[in-house]
Structure 1
Amino acid sequence: MRRLLSGIFLLGLLSACDDGDIIVTTFDFENSNLQFCDGTSKNVFYAVNDTDVFESFSVEFSNGGFSLNDNGSIREPGIGDTISFDLNNSNRAVYRIYDADLPSGNDAYFCSVVPPSSPTVIEEWVSTGGKVVLYPEFNDLAGDSDIDGDGFTNLEENFIEEQDTDNDGIPDYLDIDDDGDNVRTADEKIVNVGDAVNDDGEKDTDGDGIPNYLDNDDDNDGVLTRFEVSQDNPDDPRAFSSIGDGTPNYLNNEQTAEFIHDEYISHDIFRNYRYVLRIDDLSMGNPDNGETIRFQNYDLGTYAQARVSFPLCPSQNTDCGDNTPDGPDEPGEGTN
């Protein structure tokens, strides 16, 4: 990273404290794992270091334009849409050195209207200019992740080519019902004692070589699995057995009653996100000595957010919302 230094300040400035200790100001917070809190009048991304010296780097900004969930977490971002704001009197970046470790529960320190009086700030640098840019990314696209929680990894569900077995517009690695038969993939992959299986050991009730979780007619009776259920409970074929023997119709090729309906099980899942925070043309000043430092680009780090609601709709379900998953152009984008 190219850094532009102004005045007489050199990165690694040594400052003497009253007690004779030597403090090294490095601003060494790039690529940090950030924390986030929302206060009465501001939001704050921050990182804390207490390894060599007690220090922190925070970015404070008005909370008027930042969307939060009821629990204070950041709402799901629009992937590819950046969020940016200028550093000024209302929005600022602050680097501090303290005389002791920050107390546990740092949210209270950074987002309180009146921060605790202890520890004491012994050195402070405040932004005098710059632009903060937040880049939302998915954080769950590693090959060994299982985004839809169906027991198969992204790689096993061919996420690179966005395989879509049931052609519902939701690729298998995001689809809790890969074959579109209203039975969750996670349930159809379970093999119990006595179940018929294919050569790969996967449950295959009709013996056609296609595992149930990819077969929309599991018993090969000519009636689609999702239509082998009473209108009283159309969204769960597992619950309906015409003869009451515990075997649902969709696994019994002698039961061919067909119930046409337009019901689909919920396809909503949870996803993991992260925000990459960069500050362009960052300038910071020390009000005690008038010295300044500038960074052309400062990559402060990332803030990760797990299990954010991610609604999805099969394209065949006209009563549902937007059918197109909001994701990055390339499955590899945003991976760890």
Structure 2
Amino acid sequence: MRKFIFSILGCITILSCSDGDLQIETIDFDSASIQYCANPVADAKNLMFKINDSEALILELQSGALNRGVAGDTVITESTVPGQSQVTYRVFSDAVNKDYFCSDIPTVDPKVIDEVVAEGGMVIIETMPVENDTTRFEHNISLSGISFVTGNGERITNLAINEFGEVFTVVPD
């Protein structure tokens, strides 16, 4: 009888162990600040990211999405994901910092444990002139309807990443 009980307990223990798949339950970057390696510019792709300890949310903004401003007006620009811009969520083996993204030579550590690329959604950029400064535009970047699907087909539904951040660019000549 005792062997039978130990056998059942052993089976339960083996069956209850994780298969190693990472479970992503929440993506929350609202409290993280937007960062970039080089100041955002017009007519070029712009890489921006938010870091939350060992996680990063990366935005590759399509060329020309910034600086579509008109002096005195507010302009709304939309960029589709993944067609025009790309949003990627990464989980690392340890805390990550700006150097990971900005180094000329890629770092070995921390390692990427999981990467999920957004399969749908919109990047919305509200561009307006900076008050009392005729040389710069302010761009408020937000994400709408971003849809992540993990490698095992699970949709990540608990997203808290609507406001991506605010950047400034110079008024083009």
Which of 79, 96, 102 is matched with 1:102 structurally? 96
Q: Are the structure 2 counterparts of residues 33 and 85 from structure 1 closer, same or farther at C-alpha, using a change threshold of 3 Å?
A: same
Query: Which structure 2 segments of 5+ residues have no match?
Result: 1-17
Is 2:140–2:165's contact at 8 Å kept on the other side of the alignment?
yes
Kindly report which structure 2 residues correspond to 1:163-202, keeping only aligned pairs within 5 A, or say none.
Answer: none
Q: How far is 1:95 from its partner? A: 1.0
Percent sequence identity over aligned pairs = 21
Kindly report which structure 2 residues correspond to 1:229-308, keeping only aligned pairs within 5 A, or say none.
Answer: 270-271=135-136, 273-287=137-151, 289-294=152-157, 298-305=161-168, 308=170
Kindly report which structure 2 residues correspond to 1:127-146, keeping only aligned pairs within 5 A, or say none.
Answer: 127-138=118-129
Q: One-letter code of the match for 1:305?
A: F
Partner of 1:125: 116
Partner of 1:45: 48
The answer to whether structure 1 residue 34 and structure 2 residue 27 are counterparts is: no
Deviations 1:36-80 (A, max 9, x none): 3569x8422211111xxx1111112343x346xxxxxxx483341
Is 2:143–2:161's contact at 8 Å kept on the other side of the alignment?
yes
Partner of 1:77: 69
Q: One-letter code of the match for 1:29?
A: F
Q: In structure 1, how many angstroms separate the alpha carbons of the residues matched to 2:98 and 2:49?
A: 14
Deviations 1:187-242 (A, max 9, x none): xxxxxxxxxxxxxxxxxxxxxxxxxxxxxxxxxxxxxxxxxxxxxxxxxxxxxxxx
What is the TM-score with the length of structure 1 in the denominator? 0.36
Q: In structure 2, how many angstroms separate the alpha carbons of the residues matched to 1:90 and 1:304?
A: 19
Q: How far is 1:274 from its partner? A: 3.2
Deviations 1:62-121 (A, max 9, x none): 43x346xxxxxxx48334111211112563211111112224435426xx7x85333211
Q: How far is 1:32 from its partner? A: 4.3
Going by fraction, where is strand more abundant, 1 or 2? Answer: 2
Is 2:26–2:158's contact at 8 Å kept on the other side of the alignment?
no
Q: Are the structure 2 counterparts of residues 103 and 37 from structure 1 closer, same or farther at C-alpha, using a change threshold of 3 Å?
A: closer
Q: In structure 2, how many angstroms separate the alpha carbons of the residues matched to 1:295 and 1:132?
A: 18
- Kindly name which structure, 1 or 2, has the bigger radius of gyration based on alpha carbons: 1
Q: One-letter code of the match for 1:286?
A: T
Q: Secondary structure at the match of 1:131?
A: strand
Q: Are the structure 2 counterparts of residues 298 and 29 from structure 1 closer, same or farther at C-alpha, using a change threshold of 3 Å?
A: closer
Is 2:28–2:160's contact at 8 Å kept on the other side of the alignment?
no
> Of the two structures, which has the highest relative contact order with CA contacts closer than 8 Å and spacing of 6 or more?
2
What is the TM-score with the length of structure 2 in the denominator? 0.63
